[in-house]
A and B are shown apart, each in its own frame.
Chain A
Amino acid sequence: MYLPSKKISLYKIGIFVSIVLLILHLRGTLQSIFLVSLENTILVGREYRSEINRLRREKLNLYLQVRRLKSLKEENERLKRAFHFKKDKDIDLILGFVVGFEPSNWRRIAFVNIGKREKIKEGMYVVDENGYVVGKVYSVGEHFSQVEFLNDPDFSLYVFIGSNNRGLLEGTLGGKIKVMYMEKYKKVSVGDKVWVESIVSHLPLEIGKVCKVSKEDNSLFLDIEVQPSSKLFSSQMIFILREE
Chain B
Amino acid sequence: MRESLAIKVGKFQNNYKLIFILLIFFLLDVIKPLGFSLNTEFVMLGIIFLSINFSFPFSLFTSFAFGILRDIFSPLFPNFSLQLVLLSLFIKYLDRHLPPHPLSDISKAGFAILGYVAINSLLRQKLSLIFSISFFLHSFVCFFLIKYFLERWMFNLSGR
Which A residues are closer than 8 A to B by beta carbons?
100-109, 111, 138-139, 146, 153-154, 172-175, 233-234
Q: Does B62 contact A (CB under 8 A)?
A: no
> CA of A100 to CA of B21 in the docked complex: distance in angstroms?
19
Which of B26, B35, B74, B131 sits near A104, CB closer than 8 Å? B74
- Across the interface, B128 reaches (CB within 8 A) one of A108, A109, A172, namely A172
> Which of B36, B39, B74 contacts A103 (CB under 8 A)?
B74
Contact yes or no, A103 B29, CB < 8 A: yes
Cβ-based interface call for B130 (8 A): yes
Q: Which residues of A contact B70 (CB under 8 A)?
A: 103-104
Contacts of A101 in B (CB 8 A): 29-32
Residues A233 and B35 in contact in the complex (CB < 8 Å), given A103-B30, A105-B135: yes
Are B36 and A100 in contact (CB-based, < 8 A)? no
Provide the bound-state CA to CA distance between A50 and B35, in Å: 62
When C-beta atoms are compared, the residue in chain B nearest to A151 turns out to be: B36
User: Which A residues are in CB contact (< 8 Å) with B36?
Assistant: 105, 108, 175, 233
Q: Which of B40, B75, B127 contacts A105 (CB 8 A)?
A: B40
Q: Tell me the complex Cα distance, A100–B29, Å.
A: 9
Q: Of A103, A106, A109, A154, which is in contact with the most chain B CB atoms at under 10 Å from its CB?
A: A103
A103-B74, A172-B128 known, 5 other contacts, Cβ within 8 Å = A100-B32, A102-B73, A105-B40, A146-B75, A172-B126
Residue contact A174 to B75, C-beta cutoff 8 Å: no
Q: Which of A138, A175, A234 has the most CB of B within 10 A?
A: A175
Residues in A whose Cβ lies below 8 Å from that of B74: 102-104, 107
User: Which residues from chain B contact A233 at a C-beta distance below 8 Å?
Assistant: 32, 35-36
23 A-B contact pairs sorted by A residue (CB < 8 Å):
A100-B31, A100-B32, A100-B73, A101-B31, A102-B75, A103-B26, A103-B70, A104-B74, A104-B80, A105-B36, A106-B120, A107-B75, A108-B36, A111-B73, A138-B75, A139-B75, A153-B124, A172-B126, A172-B128, A173-B126, A173-B128, A175-B36, A234-B35
Q: Are A173 and B127 in contact (CB under 8 A)?
A: yes
- B18 vs chain A, min Cβ distance (A): 18
Choose among B30, B35, B124, B131 the residue that contacts A174 (Cβ–Cβ < 8 A). B131
Type the 1/0 row for B120-156, where 1 means its CB is closer than 8 Å to any CB of A: 1000101110110001000000000000000000000
Chain A residues near B130: list those with CB within 8 A: 174
Distance from B101 Cβ to chain A, minimum over Cβ atoms (Å): 30
CB distance from B111 to the nearest CB of A (A): 19
Contacts of A108 in B (CB 8 A): 36
The distance from the CB of B114 to the nearest CB of chain A, in whole angstroms, is: 15
**Which residue of the partner chain A has the closest CB to B127?**
A173
Assembly CA distance A154 to B125 (angstroms): 10
